[in-house]
Amino acid sequence: MSRSDFSKAKRVVVKIGSSLLTDGGRGLNKPAIAGWVEQMAALRKHDVDVVLVSSGSVAEGMSRLKLKTRPKTLHELQAAASVGQMGLVRRFEDEFQTHGLLAAQVLLTHDDLSDRQRYLNARSTLLTLLDFGVVPVINENDAVATEEIRFGDNDTLGALVANLVEADLLLLLTDQLGLFDANPSLNPAAQLISEISVNESLLDEVAGGSISGLGRGGMFTKVRAARLAARSGAATVIVSGKLEQVVNRVFAGEALGTYMIPNIAPLAARKQWLAGQLQLKGSVTLDDGAVKILKAAGKSLLAVGVKTVSGSFQRGDLVSCLDAHGQEIARGLINYGADDAAKIAGKPSSEFEALLGYADDDELIHRDNLVLV
Ligand SMILES: Nc1ncnc2c1ncn2[C@@H]1O[C@H](COP(=O)(O)OP(=O)(O)O)[C@@H](O)[C@H]1O
Ligand SMILES: N[C@@H](CCC(=O)OP(=O)(O)O)C(=O)O
């Protein structure tokens, strides 16, 4: 896909970051919100489905509660988010209404998307809203999201939503012109990267964290988001939400921001869901033979190829498969808990019964539950 194809996109996820929405921490930037909504409404007029992922609940809550700095404790953050979310959705609802559009609030936690059934439920709800012509306004359900079940940043949430609704385009609107070859907030000589493949390993070096105290993930999570989105074939553009008519101009193919080219083979729907799982419960280190077999794709992981097991996980948990250098090569849902996996590591399945007193699946991780990274 090249930039000129963006105009053919039928479904787009627009993510607006905290750094941008909050007018430097002084509550919501209302004129800017009106501007983005106007542009999204223009897309709707051309029958493009629009899903909005908006941050800003904590920042708006801080402003309403007159807190000068971002709260430190989780409960204060959750309280601030609950207060702020009211202002956020109200603002979007009012703005969409002026264009004759309905908005719907959808709050998600990581837990909602890591459970396959709930993932599918969320998908059906979002698709139904789009069928109704409604613009879903999504944020993390901060009021209940504890550390273990948080996305933490909305870039990741935006990418998983792009997977869920099979969007063509993910627009990450932020406070910088795009992704630079170094953090421009720290290095004035940094250069904007106009286009780059999501596969490019350089990305891991240049994408730093957020220093504003408002945003959470910085560019690190935007790069990860672009890679996740690419798994369902979505193109990602990281671009400044401060540019005049930015959404329409990106749609028209103008070379703004950073286009993260999704040139990886898209995964089947179930594997996209697996790839979007973030909470690893442990890891298994493989011998070189098993690494080769997994990389050749399409094969299950057998216990015989495992050298060591670490972490405390249960059957069905997500674990990482590492090579001898500790590099992750795949992740998947494991068929044995950590203690049993350690007992059968390096052994053929014919010995499982003698070692464990029972024999379950032959595979440690079945190929349907395994995804290369
Ligand atoms: N290579 C980079 N290019 C651009 N910005 C970067 C880079 N590395 C780190 N950053 C930081 O990422 C910030 C944007 O991320 P963040 O504050 O999380 O915004 P948002 O709320 O929009 O997600 C920038 O303000 C900048 O400080
Ligand atoms: N969900 C929270 C925090 C999300 C957040 O800050 O994300 P981001 O703007 O992507 O760095 C909020 O609405 O304030």
Q: Are 84 and 59 in contact (CB under 8 A)?
A: yes
Could you tell me the end-to-end alpha-carbon distance of the chain, in angstroms, rounded to an integer? 22
Q: Which ligand is nearest to the CA of 172?
A: 1
Q: Residue 211's pLDDT is what?
A: 64
58 lines ligand 2 (CB under 6 A): yes
Q: Residue 213's pLDDT is what?
A: 61
DSSP 92-141: HHHHHHHTT--EEEEEE-HHHHHSHHHHHHHHHHHHHHHHTT-EEEEEE-
Q: Residue 337's pLDDT is what?
A: 95
| Angstrom distance (rounded) from CA 13 to CA 45 | 16
Q: Residue 18's pLDDT is what?
A: 87
Ligand 1 mean position to 80 CA, how many Å?
A: 23
The pTM of this model reads: 0.86
Q: Residue 1's pLDDT is what?
A: 86
Q: Residue 148's pLDDT is what?
A: 61
C-beta neighbour count of 72 within 10 angstroms = 7
Residue 239's nearest CA partner among 36, 30, 24 is 36
* Token pair in block for residue 326: 């500790």
Q: Which ligand is nearest to the CA of 184?
A: 1
Q: Residue 185's pLDDT is what?
A: 85
Ligand 1 mean position to 363 CA, how many Å?
A: 42
Query: Using N-to-C axis directions, what is the helix angle for 57-65 and 74-98, rounded to 10°?
Result: 100
DSSP 157-220: HHHHHHHHHT-SEEEEEESSSS-BSS-TTT-TT--B--EEETT-THHHHH-----SSS-SSHHH
Q: Which ligand is nearest to the CA of 209?
A: 1
Q: Residue 205's pLDDT is what?
A: 85
Which residue ranges of the chain lie beneath pLDDT 70?
Answer: 23-26, 147-149, 210-217
Q: Residue 265's pLDDT is what?
A: 83
Bridging pattern class, strands 235-240 and 169-174: parallel
Q: Residue 206's pLDDT is what?
A: 83
**Hey, where are the domains in the chain?**
3-272, 280-372
Position in ligand 2 atom list of the atom nearest CA 19: 9
Question: Predicted ipTM?
Answer: 0.96
Q: Residue 266's pLDDT is what?
A: 82
Ligand 2 mean position to 19 CA, how many Å?
A: 9
Instruction: Express the helix, strand and coil content of the chain in percent, nearest 5 each.
Output: 40, 20, 40
Q: Residue 216's pLDDT is what?
A: 66
Q: Residue 359's pLDDT is what?
A: 83
Query: Using N-to-C axis directions, what is the helix angle for 30-45 and 74-98, rounded to 10°?
Result: 50
Question: Which residues on adjacent β-strands are paired with residue 154?
Answer: none
156 lines ligand 2 (CB under 6 A): no
For residue 68, give the DSSP letter: S
CA 310 to chain centre: 26
Q: State the architecture of 280-372 in CATH terms.
A: Roll (2.30)
Element (DSSP H or E) covering residue 370:
strand 370-372
Ligand 2 mean position to 214 CA, how many Å?
A: 8
Q: Say which residues have a Cβ less than 8 Å from residue 268's Cβ, sequence separation at least 6.
A: none
Pocket test for ligand 1, best of 19, 196, 220, 236 (most atoms within 8 A of CB): 19
Q: Residue 223's pLDDT is what?
A: 94
Q: Residue 269's pLDDT is what?
A: 80
Q: Residue 276's pLDDT is what?
A: 80
Q: pLDDT tens-digit profile of 295-325? A: 887 799 999 999 999 999 999 899 999 999 9
Q: What is the residue with the minimal CA distance to atom 7 of ligand 2?
A: 153
Domain 3-272 sits in CATH 1.10.10.10: no
